[in-house]
Chain A
């Protein structure tokens, strides 16, 4: 069983819609979760970190965490073509960080 699982996609949404990206993790003791955005040919860029159950909002991005269900998600409101990228979910560990395989998002004009 993979430690961090994401639907590889591709996920396609129209411009202006809400994009919902999901991630599950296997280690029930995990406490820290991160979302990265990676444009094709570029390096991952940290978007959000979340440590507590519930929602955390930053501009058009909302991260949601449910530790009981071992589930973390990222919502992108008012999606723009510039949001088209691969989104990596990561779970923090001491000394390292475990990444999911990433979900490719395409926002169509």
Chain B
């Protein structure tokens, strides 16, 4: 089965840039999306179609992809961005796959 691998944790200072990677063969020709999950809350979609933001998501969130690696970037990180982040992709052979998750800590 396919896997999407993320770093377990990322630390960032307030106002700085946080980058979270998501790697997996499934990403080669598929779109990635990203979810933010704060403690005790349900996931919220923050990026879809690799680089698009749903309405209501701040511009400081952006997404990109190169080869088999997708990246979520948070510019000007704020304390409210401290959360777990999951990537997700779909493929006809594996269906939906979620990443292993990354805990973003704003120090």
Whether both chains belong to one complex is answered with no
Give residues in B with beta carbon < 8 Å to A.
none
Chain A interfacial positions (CB closer than 8 Å to B): none
